[in-house]
Amino acid sequence: MNVLELMAECRKNKTKSLDLAGQKLRALPEELFSLKHLEELILDGNELVEIPDEIGNLTKLVHLSLGRNDIVELPASIGKLKKLKILYVGYNMLDALPPEIGQLSELDKLNASKNSLGDLPEEIGNLSKLTQLSLHDNIIPSLPSSVGKLKALRKLYLDNNVLESLPPEIGLLKNLHELILSGNQLSELPDEIGGMTALEELVVDGNSLRTVPASLAGAPVLKVISLHENPVASIPKELKGKKDLKIEV
């Protein structure tokens, strides 16, 4: 079936999911935005450059996938998708996320990897239910202090950016299990990182670290610190003696 036939069937049967992946779409048909019953919309692997404001009409969406297109900007109206739990916009040409993304109060997973993102909006800290944030392979130089408000976050992927430092507020992420920071420009980590009481894996390969904070000894369940391809000169004795911790250099 072609795109119009797929949408007609979706409208007729009130299907909650519509998969239009790989349809070579360069623009989204207007009829799509009348399907207000949709809960899942898959648009990966098309040729989309922009997403119209009308996307905000689909207020029942729980899952929106826009990966592997040529999208340069997300509309402010995306903030109207109050029920959205999964947003995938990886492998596009985004250079920013709109501040309105902070209005997605139910969002659980956000993947904006492999774009051209620079600064992140402060409003990203409003995503209080977010458990997974994937921002790898962008050009992010720093994180807003509001990142410390992501209290539910369990996995944070920031590898292959241009981070030179981390805000001390990163230590407020008490539920974070996995922190991936490989391929950045970090020369030190903040002492506050030791406040991550749920942290199990810290990967900082390919940076400019000469040591790591002794405060990490206070992370009770930390199992792995990976420091490959860093000019490490010393490891604090508190970490060397920590039971069940593997330090890879």
Q: Give me the sign of the Cα torsion angle 232, 237, 239, 241.
A: positive
Residue 191 confidence class, pLDDT cut points 50, 70, 90 = very high
Query: How does pLDDT run across 196-216, given as a tens digit for each residue?
Result: 999 999 999 999 999 999 999
Residue 98 has pLDDT above 90, yes or no: yes
Supply the mean pLDDT for the chain. 97
pLDDT at 243: 86
Confirm whether 1-117 and 135-249 share one CATH topology: yes
In this prediction, residues 151-179 reach a mean pLDDT of 98
> In DSSP terms, which residues pair with 201 in a beta bridge?
178, 224
pLDDT band at residue 242 using 50, 70 and 90 as cut-offs: confident
**Domain locations in the chain as residue ranges:** 1-117, 135-249
The pLDDT value given to residue 187? 97
The whole-number pLDDT of residue 18 equals 97
CATH architecture, range 1-117:
Alpha-Beta Horseshoe (3.80)
In whole angstroms, give the CA distance from residue 56 to residue 59.
Answer: 6
According to the model, what pLDDT value does residue 241 have?
Answer: 85
Superfamily of segment(s) 135-249 = Ribonuclease Inhibitor (3.80.10.10)
Percentage of residues in the chain having pLDDT higher than 70: 100
pLDDT digits (tens, 9 = 90+) for 133-163: 999 999 999 999 999 999 999 999 999 999 9
pLDDT tens sequence across 105-134? 999 999 999 999 998 999 999 999 999 999
In this prediction, residue 1 has a pLDDT band, given cuts at 50, 70 and 90, of confident
Q: What is the pTM of this model?
A: 0.96
* Per-residue pLDDT at 172 exceeds 90: yes
Residue 80 pLDDT level (bands cut at 50, 70, 90): very high
Ordered DSSP codes for the chain: --HHHHHHHHHHHT-SEEE-TTS--SS--GGGGG-TT-SEEE-TTS---B--GGGGG-TT-SEEE--SS---B--GGGGG-TT--EEE--SS--S---GGGGG-TT--EEE--SS---SPPGGGGG-TT--EEE--SS------GGGGG-TT--EEE--SS------GGGGG-TT--EEE--SS--S---GGGGG-TT--EEE--SS--S---GGGGG-TT--EEE-TTS------HHHHT-TT-EEE-
